[in-house]
Structure 1
Amino acid sequence: MQESAIDREIKLLVLDIDGTIAGESNQIREPVKQAIKAVQAKGVQVAIATGRMYRSALRFHQDIGSQLPLIVYQGALIKDPTTQKVLRHLPVAKKIALQLLDYFEQPELRSLLSVHFYINDRLYVRQITPETEIYAQRSAIEPIPVGDLRLALTGDNGEDICPTKVLALSDDTDTIERLLGSLKQQYTPAELYLTKSVATFFEATNPWVNKGTAVRYLAEDILGLESGNVMAVGDNYNDVEMLEYAGVGVAMANSPFDVQAIAHWVAPSVEEDGVVAAIEKFIL
């Protein structure tokens, strides 16, 4: 742990959902809720930054009583639930989305992948696969099967529609790893942001999008804070930029080792309410 981290004056706490404040139960446990309340009672504001859809993340935002905008889709959408105002929306260009779809539909990949397009906070899929059913159940959303996903990228009047995020999922983690490696060779970071949120989820967003740029926008542009006033807690590769930006970056014990390596501190696992330990150490 960097020595300076524990001396930071934290004014903003940013939390990931899955693997951080919600584990197998898909709920925030009571000790975590109470620790978050204690933080808020000290005057520290609390926000959520997640790869989830807005409609899927909203109940967690409400559970912790956050008064801040909600960062979703890895930061591609930042929306204030109180006013319903969209503060930022940076989608994937239609041309790139079509290129990704062509890649996913190669014969050797098509049967291995469930492809998700997120448009206007709705989930569009080719067909309902077992993987999509599990995802939809955990996210509490209804997927819309359209057969050919290209149809979802053109509006009724022929206008181009750009997805907020593109996701490909597979139970075969080696397939996801190969997919990530191959597409990182095809697209520069200036063209597309590519990451994994869990070992089975490949995610692609606008190149300006990641949780780090989103948290910076919330902290500096909206709240007038500096990075040193921010503590962020996450558990996976899509949290790396956020943990690097924050004055205090905390990784969960259930996170991959190279995510833990960039953190200031490693908290106990999500099933051990590790966020509580992190809050007690750095804020309370």
Structure 2
Amino acid sequence: MIALDIDGTLTPVGSNEIPPAVKAAVTRAADHGAHVVLCTGRSLIGITAVAAQLPVSYAVCSNGAVWWDPATSSVTRRTTFDPGPTIKTLQALLPNSVFAVEKTGVGSLSLGEFLPGDLWGETRQVTFEEMAVPTPRLVMRWLGHTPAELSFAVRELELPGVEWNVDHTEAWLTAVPPNVSKGTALDELSASLGISPQDALAIGDGSNDVEMLTWAGLGVAMGQAPAHVQAVADEVAPTVLEDGAAQALNRFFP
């Protein structure tokens, strides 16, 4: 199994453009019989353009909360939580923050206005009461602040009932249901396919990739990944701008 993050691994952050060398390397892996699994924090609607370019066996979206089978174009798992308490806690701590909950396969409901290009699919601004509905994924952007400022502000934050992480490229926080991560999703998916974690290669660059990288038999961090992500990986590849994912895959699928 080859588990691949998207943003900062297959593509530059926020882009759907996969470099030719990376596309070729992933295709060779599939041709050798590997199950290619996209494993991303993006919502399902956000992976469509990327998945169409690759021989994808499965996709694990929303940090593990949504599973998608491209063979049948169907969602096979969708785990949800109540985002209301988390929104209230973050609003009190982080003034000028905006929020969005995922409408799987459609887009988002937002509380406040995000920056252009932040959200995939259709976005509709709603009230707090309309936001507080079961969702697989809640995202928050702290407008006017840096990732470092957000990391410092939430250093002692407790958010009961959710798993959450902070992005290293934007002042962005993602929350998903409890006990859900890329690692837990891949563990269940691989077991259903009869694949041992020792036979898995995972490549990623963000805080939400830590569980995935430690789960896989070989976890590879991208060269631009933060120090704490590189620290848990077995190896560090070149950066996304150097087609690092391709270079990692080419060792096994030349």
Say yes or no: TM over 0.5: yes
Match of 1:206 in 2: 177
* CA apart distance, 1:48: 0.3
Measured in 2, the distance between the counterparts of 1:149 and 1:47 equals 35
Residue 141 of structure 2 corresponds to residue 169 of structure 1: yes
Match of 2:109 in 1: 124
Question: Does the CA contact (< 8 Å) of 1:20 and 1:270 recur in 2?
Answer: yes
Q: Deviations over 1:195-243 (max 9, x none)?
A: 124342211111121000111122112x110001100000010000000
How many residues align structurally? Answer: 249
Task: Provide structure 1 residue ranges, at least 5 long, that are not aligned to the other structure.
Answer: 1-11, 154-160
* CA apart distance, 1:179: 4.7
| Superposition map of 1:1-284 within 5 A | 12-23=1-12, 25-66=15-56, 68-92=57-81, 94=82, 97-106=83-92, 109-111=94-96, 113-121=97-105, 122-129=107-114, 131=115, 133-136=116-119, 139=120, 141-146=121-126, 148-153=127-132, 161-170=133-142, 171-184=145-158, 186-187=159-160, 191-199=161-169, 200-221=171-192, 223-284=193-254
Which structure: larger Rg? Answer: 1
Question: Does the CA contact (< 8 Å) of 1:228 and 1:247 recur in 2?
Answer: yes
* CA apart distance, 1:79: 1.6
SS at match of 1:238: helix
Query: Which TM-score applies when normalising by structure 2?
Result: 0.91
Cα 1:183–1:168 change in 2 (3 A) is same
* CA apart distance, 1:175: 4.0
Letter in 2 for 1:163: T
Letter in 1 for 2:84: L
Task: Provide structure 2 residue ranges, at least 5 long, that are not aligned to the other structure.
Answer: none
* CA apart distance, 1:84: 3.2
Greater percentage in helix? 1
Measured in 2, the distance between the counterparts of 1:101 and 1:274 equals 36
Match of 1:5 in 2: none
* CA apart distance, 1:110: 2.8
* CA apart distance, 1:105: 2.5
Letter in 2 for 1:279: L
What root-mean-square deviation, in Å, do the aligned CA atoms of Structure 1 and Structure 2 show? Answer: 1.8
Question: Does the CA contact (< 8 Å) of 2:141 and 2:172 recur in 1?
Answer: yes
Measured in 2, the distance between the counterparts of 1:142 and 1:182 equals 34
Cα 1:224–1:197 change in 2 (3 A) is farther
Identity %: 27
Measured in 1, the distance between the counterparts of 2:175 and 2:232 equals 22
Cα 1:172–1:197 change in 2 (3 A) is closer
* CA apart distance, 1:26: 3.7
* CA apart distance, 1:283: 4.0
Measured in 2, the distance between the counterparts of 1:40 and 1:124 equals 36
SS at match of 1:35: helix
